[in-house]
Amino acid sequence: MSATAAISVRGLEKSYKGSRQARSPVLKGVDFEVARGSIFALLGSNGAGKTTAVRILSTLLKPDAGTALVEGASVVEEAQRVREAISLTGQFAAVDEILTGRENLVLVAKLRHLPSPGDIADGLLERFDLVEAGGRKVATYSGGMRRRLDIAMSLIGSPSVIFLDEPTTGLDPEARLEVWKVVKELTEQGTTVLLTTQYLEEAEQLADRIAILHGGTIIANGTLAELKALLPPAKVEYVEKQPSLEEIFLSLTGSTKQGDHS
């Protein structure tokens, strides 16, 4: 495993018990690494195992086999060290609608026993362009504002690695662009981001590297340019047409359509 990687995964396996106690494999030997300060997208259809991988990496679930290190610490044997280095944001914003945006931030800072929780809250409100909305109840926020607040809350305590599990699910296009802007800014400030998504355009716009998870294994892993090179050269007619990430994904997974959205 690379010493420069923020996340290193080797041979990760996980199965769940079915209705007749039979084991149903979800991850069948997953390997990948995430460089520090980069955005890594784990791309896959519904049921591909993306959320299972994130739950293992964030110490919420134990693997059946394989190893996973986050900032050099084992997710199984050094779970507390991993938890101190990471933050996790799920598919739905974990914010309290009764409280104001600022009160949500102050509450989390106090729960983490950090000094000057008010200053921390004010700094994050400014960083995420929520100063004017900070005194309003979260119930009045748009979807994009809630998601920005949720990500801001996840950064309290300065985690070096953040897991974003399908962060733009259910958001309209404008709100999705807001979240994309925030994610890009995170890596500019040195945070490592592992992003799971089923939106091909999202991976194409954000990720430094993209891994396609299909059938429980990683079937492709590389930069967008490297993935495009897996398909035949572009046909040149009047203009050169490069393959889109959607075409790459469908070709590699053998699908005729993208599949369910989740």
Q: Does any domain span residue 15?
A: no
Q: Does any domain span residue 141?
A: yes
As a whole number, mean pLDDT of residues 20-40 equals 89
CA distance 1 to 106: 38
Q: What is the pLDDT of residue 259?
A: 42
Give residue 211's domain range. Answer: 36-59+79-253
Q: What is the pLDDT of residue 178?
A: 83
Q: Does any domain span residue 10?
A: no
Instruction: Give this prediction's pTM.
Output: 0.82
207 CB-side CA count, 13 A: 28
Check pLDDT > 70 for residue 236. Answer: no
Q: Does any domain span residue 261?
A: no
Q: Does any domain span residue 29?
A: no
Q: Does any domain span residue 95?
A: yes
Highest mean pLDDT among 87-91, 116-120, 235-239: 116-120
CATH of the domain at 223: 3.40.50.300
CA distance 178 to 16: 36
pLDDT band of 21, cuts 50, 70, 90: low
Q: How many domains does the chain have?
A: 1
DSSP secondary structure string, the chain?
Answer: --TTEEEEEEEEEEEEE-TTS-EEEEEEEEEEEEETT-EEEEE--TTSSHHHHHHHHTTSS--SEEEEEETTEETTTTHHHHHHHEEEE-SS----TTSBHHHHHHHHHHHTT-S-HHHHHHHHHHHTT-TTTTTSBGGG--HHHHHHHHHHHHTTT--SEEEEESTTTT--HHHHHHHHHHHHHHHHTT-EEEEEES-HHHHHHH-SEEEEEETTEEEEEE-HHHHHTTSPPPPBSSSB-PPPHHHHHHHHHT-SS-----
Q: Does any domain span residue 258?
A: no
Q: Does any domain span residue 206?
A: yes
